Amino acid sequence: MSNVAFRLLTGVAALGVGYALVGGASSLSAETAVNAPAPLVSVASNAPSETAIFAGGCFWGVQGVFQHVKGVTGAVSGFTGGAAGNAHYDRVSDGDTGHAESVRVTFDPRVVSYADLLRVYFSVVADPTQLNAQGPDSGTQYRSALFPQNAAQARVAQAYLSQLRQARLWKRPIVTRIEPAQPFYAAEGYHQDYLTLHPDAGYIRYNDLPKLAALKKLYPQLWRERPVLVRG
């Protein structure tokens, strides 16, 4: 069975028992919202545009959340961490290419900082205590990882991870990795804007729509109603 089919069947089965929003997140979803503290370390920038890459499980939800964040001008689902020759979904799904399903976020740092995006990531996007897994998906391709694109981002990411570990918001240890920046390869077209285009899919309804509800509830100042889409 393909991973896409597994995701859809998992979501449909989950809907059989329903879900309830608790604190903005699904009580039955593996990814539960946490109101993470504001980062103590941030870097101001007057640049009109910057990019950041985040991996946190299935890229459908990661992309969908960031597309609703003010200041984000683009979010593309794809792969990073492996070679160009095997950067396609069917191959990455084997879990042995080194790639992680990831999202390249383009943003205006004058509107939303990289530190703000990290806060959204740890609060809403991913459970940082799950090793090589997120929700119903498992394998190194679903690992929780940050890929800083410059020294400033790396410094902010390291500082925020240290801050979160000291805060002890989760019962289990944080296993999110900071990995060196590597080439990013966009995923196939049918993966782009998946959350927006398929809101009634079982997997999306159970695993990802609660993340949007959490973003809107926890960070209304960052919420944008109309997502910025790859397809425009």
| CATH of residue 82 | 3.30.1060.10
Does a structural domain hold residue 230?
no
User: Is this prediction's pTM over 0.95?
Assistant: no
Task: Report in angstroms the alpha-carbon separations of 14 from 6, 200, 204.
Answer: 12, 13, 11
The DSSP secondary structure of 39-101, one letter per residue, reads PS-------S-EEEEEEES-HHHHHHHHTTBTTEEEEEEEEESS-GGG-SHHHHTTS-SS-EE
Instruction: Name the residue among 103, 121, 132 with its Cα closest to residue 164.
Output: 121
Whether residue 229 is contained in a domain is answered as: no
98: Cα separation from own chain's centroid: 18
Q: What percent of the chain is modeled with pLDDT above 70?
A: 87
Catalytic residue among 4, 14, 36, 58: 58
Task: Provide the number of structural domains found in the chain.
Answer: 1
Tokens of 66: 């960031």
Inside any domain, residue 225: no
**Is the pLDDT at 175 greater than 50, yes or no?**
yes
Residue 227, domain member (yes or no): no
Q: Say if 116 falls within a structural domain.
A: yes
Specify whether 58 is catalytic: yes
In tens, the pLDDT along 55-106 reads 999 999 999 999 999 999 999 999 999 999 999 999 999 999 999 999 999 9
Supply the pLDDT for residue 19.
32
Task: Name the CA dihedral angle for 191, 62, 228, 105, rounded to a multiple of 10 degrees.
Answer: -100
Q: Is the pLDDT of residue 10 over 90?
A: no
Residue 232 lies in a domain: no
Could you tell me the residue range of the domain that residue 103 belongs to? 3-218
Lowest mean pLDDT among 38-42, 76-80, 202-206, 228-232: 228-232
